[in-house]
Amino acid sequence: LCSDISPLLKDPAAFRTLIDLLEDHLRTSFPKIDFIAGLDSRGFLIGPPLAQRLGIGFVLIRKKGKLPGPTESVTYALEYGKAELEIQSDAVEPGQKVVIVDDLLATGGTMCAACELMKRLKAEVLECLVIIELKLLKGSEKLKSVPFYSLLQYD
């Protein structure tokens, strides 16, 4: 139950407070951000309101086959197989500063794949940002030198 964000989404005051906290963190940590990049699919719930608050754009990182036009893709390992993420090839320009958002960090595979996509587009990942981190699974260790922030941590 600790990794279910549904109660936050159902409660407008709680969701507003969540976005307030994330906005405050980003404004304090980074003077310039060009884009928020959201991971399919729950990053799409957090990213757009956060980007709007910051006055910046939002870009999609989706599962394979969901985006139009030319894309960059990366395959990554899951506990039970493989998956593939994509971003549109022109989503960000080289050197642009991006924060990647999702609801949860577990094993870190999806977030690492998103970082790899940004690297291929030559964007600078300022931080990977999540609401909840499951520390027992050590996903943040996979991110290595990429800064990471989570609002809540559970063992």
Active site residues: 42, 79
Cβ distance 123 to 72 under 8 Å?
no
Strands (E), the chain: 35-39, 57-63, 71-78, 81-88, 97-105, 124-134, 148-154
Taking the CB of residue 129, how many other CB atoms lie within 10 A of it?
A: 25
- CA proximity to 42, closest of 2, 96, 100: 100
